[in-house]
Amino acid sequence: MKINILLFDKFETLDAFGPAEIFGKVQEFELDYFSVEGGIVTSSQNVSIVTKPITESKEDCVWLIPGGEGTRSLVHDEDFLLKLKQLAQKSKFCLSVCTGSALLAKCGALDGIRATSNKRAFDWVKTTSQKTLWVKKARWVVAGKIYTSSGVSAGMDMALGFVSDILGKNKANEIARRIEYVWNDNPEKDEFSEN
How distant is the alpha carbon of residue 165 from its chain centre? Answer: 16
- pLDDT computed for residue 164 by the predictor: 98
Tens of pLDDT, residues 123-171: 999 999 999 999 999 999 999 999 999 998 999 999 999 999 999 999 9
Q: What is the pTM of this model?
A: 0.95
Query: How far is 139 from 174, CA to CA, in rounded Å?
Result: 21
Indicate the average pLDDT of the chain. 96
Cα separation, 11 vs 100, in Å, equals 9
pLDDT score for 195: 47
Which domains can be identified in the chain, with CATH numbers?
Answer: 2-178 (3.40.50.880)
pLDDT of 175 > 90? The answer is: yes
Structure-model confidence comparison of residues 195 and 66, the more confident one: 66
The answer to whether residues 126 and 134 touch, using CB atoms and an 8 Å cutoff, is yes
